[in-house]
Amino acid sequence: MRNYTLITQFLVMGIPHTSGLENVLFTLIFVFYMFNLPGNLLILLAILTSSSLHTPMYFFLGNLSVLDICFSSVSSPKMMLCLMGQDCTISLQGCAAQLFFYHFLGCTECFLYTVMAYDRFAAICHPLRYTVIMNHRVCAIMALGTWLGSCMHASILTFLIFKLPYCGPNEINNFFCDIPVVLPLACADTSLAQRVSFTNVGIVALVCFLLILISYTHIVISVLKISSSEGRRRAFSTCSAHLTSILLFYGPVVLIYLRPASSPWLDSVVQVLNNIVTPSLNPLIYSLRNKDVKLALRKALIQGIHTGE
């Protein structure tokens, strides 16, 4: 038996090999974070205030906006404080909360993209039955299922990681707590936690991706059967924003969790893109080529100006 002194806090080291770039990193993160908050809030406001957007597609888009606001808020404020030269430590409980919410919100987004793909499948492949297939009750159950399922997923991961003892070193080679950087710091056998954690994350991501792929395979087949070129263009345009978001979301997941060799610097950079940049881009992706959203945003802003006057 060995005597261990259990640590009560971790030291967040930030992105490796970026010493001297603190001001640049702070500015970039602050700009993206400040763009993310109003951008997603405006999308949410447009959906809530415009009756024409009270459809399943925009209901799930509203969920996505809420997720993007919360997801970037898990790590960005703490990282900006650290870059400003403030306290870079985080308590063991705070680290556990960060890991839980990161995987809870990330998994919810993963499930939500799958549900959104099914919604597009139902709309394009079964247009006459769409309102029956995607009725209000079904949409509510799907949304609730994504949140509850993700909560269970994140709870399992957090329990496995933080039931282990941590007795030093306590330096996290990243800007927030995640499995690849926290687990190696445990002073006990981590093989079970490592197998279950990475298998769990990998299976969830892979199953969701396969379901999305199946949905879009059917969508492409149905669209190609449309005789009108204008009809095909409109059908594809309703899916383009969703496909772009999926590529931006799954790219970092594959690089971080499904890559055999780990690179702390690459993992940190990829997670900055995933945690901060992608949530900021989603409002642009879903509004630039969507006339309904742009019209609803314009109306909401005009109403806000008139109300203020």
Tell me how many domains the chain contains: 1
Q: Is residue 2 part of a domain?
A: no
For the domain that residue 89 is a member of, what is the CATH number? 1.20.1070.10
Could you give phi then psi for residue 167, rounded to 5 degrees?
-130, 20
Digit-coded pLDDT (tens) for 20-51: 778 888 888 888 888 888 888 888 888 888 88
Q: Is residue 192 part of a domain?
A: yes
Helices (H) and strands (E) in the chain, counts: 11, 3
Task: Give rounded-to-5 percent helix, strand, coil for the chain.
Answer: 80, 5, 20
Region 218-240 average pLDDT = 79
CB 187 within 8 A of CB 165: yes
Question: 157 or 266, which is more confident?
Answer: 157
Q: Is residue 85 part of a domain?
A: yes
| Whole-number pLDDT of residue 1 | 42
CB 104 within 8 A of CB 153: yes
Q: Which domain holds residue 129?
A: 9-308
Task: Give all strands of the β-sheet with 171-172 in edge-to-edge order.
Answer: 89-91, 9-12, 171-172
Q: How far apart are CA 219 and CA 216, in angstroms?
A: 5
Q: Is residue 122 part of a domain?
A: yes
Helices of type H across 50-135: 56-83, 92-125, 130-133
| Whole-number pLDDT of residue 308 | 53
Q: Is the pLDDT of residue 130 over 80?
A: yes
Q: Is the pLDDT of residue 152 over 90?
A: yes
Q: Is the pLDDT of residue 135 over 90?
A: yes
Predicted model pTM = 0.86
Q: Is residue 23 part of a domain?
A: yes
Do strands 89-91 and 9-12 pair parallel, antiparallel, or not at all (unpaired)?
antiparallel
